[in-house]
Amino acid sequence: MIYLRNVGTVVRGIRTPIIKENDKLEDIVIQSLLDARESEGFEFRDRDVVAITEAVVGISEGNYCSVDDIATDIKERFNNPDELGIVFPILSRNRFSLILKGIARSTKKLYVQLSFPSDEVGNGILDEDKLENSAFNLTSVISEEDYNKVFGDFIHPFTGINMISFYRDLIKEQGCEPIFVLANNPLEILNYTTNVINCDIHTRVKTKKLLENKGAKVVGLFEIMNHSINGSGYNEKYGLLGSNKSTEERLKLFPKDGQKLVENIQRRLKEISGKNIEVMVYGDGAFKDPVGKIWELADPVVSPFYTSGLEGTPNEIKLKFVSDNKFPDLHGDELKNAIKEEIRKKDADLKGQMITQGTTPRRLTDLIGSLCDLTSGSGDKGTPVVFIQGYFDNLSDE
């Protein structure tokens, strides 16, 4: 087949069988790509990208833990604490409810410090339109008798769930007393307890250091389940970050062994096609919903594993800038050919040059991972593998 470069980037969601624990994911990914190639009629090219969602990587490697495993780990770290405080948990039934259940199961009293008016990734406690009419006192503990008065209207605008009530009931079900605090300074928790789990994702190192510098006993969520408990799964680098709900008592952890997977797939595709194809594992994409205000990155990174050709950032010139500033009097094919020549002779590193203004200064893995996350979605599309062609092409490649 002759590849006509009249089209830029092409993204295909690749359907696979339903992935289960201990499945040979490497074989499944490769066979699914070959089946798609046969049915769709495309050919592999150098610098194509194969991306696999982290969910099926974690599932296939059996990287799970239980709520009891979490409770056991916490009890050991804090020596069977009577009380704990948690700072900046996200408001998510899928991402945090089972973690919260394990924390509550490990202690008798739990101080829950929530950031306001939304969590770290943009999940709102309260519809912004209701903020002015909301009866709350930031940095104050809410008593049981005042609970309904203060939190009664705290309904998430999209899910229709009162997340504070949901978390409150969940904690109580574990025989633990919940006490909520609304505050955006992590040090506020130290007014109530010095045994703290910091649950923030992208500011985790800074928050832990701040609390430790004030004398607190602090364990990050990224440290809990960073080793096996009674034969459980674990993630040495990220602990419970990136995990999500599997059953009511079991969590799937962020994958831990994906580097060998991506390198093996790359090697085997080279043997099959003769082409140098990049491979990555992706999680949540790094983008923000402009309406719901949710920053879709509850995972600690977009891509935990990838082949070496995906290192770095784009090195692109802004076509509009070049056209308007360097060739204002050219049009049609003459303009197109002039810009092609500009692309061909561009520096290997354009960082800091005006000719790049308006391009996106982000890592390739973050950009491509976001594209993949939008393509595969998180529901019933059935495409946990994404195949991308032409991502590294430019106008001069026509």
Instruction: Give the DSSP letter of residue 6.
Output: T
The whole-number average pLDDT for the span 123-146 is: 56
Q: Which residue would you say has higher pLDDT here, 76 or 330?
A: 76
Residue 65 β-bridge partners:
251
Q: Which residue would you say has higher pLDDT here, 288 or 207?
A: 207
Peptide bond into 117 cis (omega under 30): yes
| Predicted local distance difference test score (pLDDT) of residue 152 | 64
Q: Residue 132: CB partners within 8 Å, gap ≥ 6?
A: none
Locate the DSSP E strands across 35-131: 49-53, 64-66, 83-87, 109-114
**Residue 164 confidence (pLDDT) above 90:** no
192-236: pLDDT as tens digits: 999 999 999 999 999 999 999 999 999 999 999 999 999 999 999
| Predicted local distance difference test score (pLDDT) of residue 119 | 86
- In order, the DSSP letters of 344-377 are HT--S--TT-GGGTTS--S-HHHHHHHHHHHHH-
Q: Which residue segments constitute the domains of the chain, with CATH numbers given?
A: 10-62+256-309+367-397 (3.30.1330), 64-252 (no CATH), 315-359 (no CATH)
Residue 22: pLDDT band by 50, 70, 90 thresholds? very high
40-87: pLDDT as tens digits: 999 999 999 999 999 999 999 999 999 999 999 999 999 999 999 999
| Predicted local distance difference test score (pLDDT) of residue 129 | 53
| Predicted local distance difference test score (pLDDT) of residue 286 | 72
| Predicted local distance difference test score (pLDDT) of residue 322 | 62
**Residue 33 confidence (pLDDT) above 50:** yes
Answer yes or no: are the C-beta atoms of 77 and 263 closer than 8 Å: no
334-359: pLDDT as tens digits: 767 766 666 676 655 546 554 545 45
Q: What distance in Å separates the CA atoms of residue 70 and residue 300, rounded to the nearest whole number? A: 19
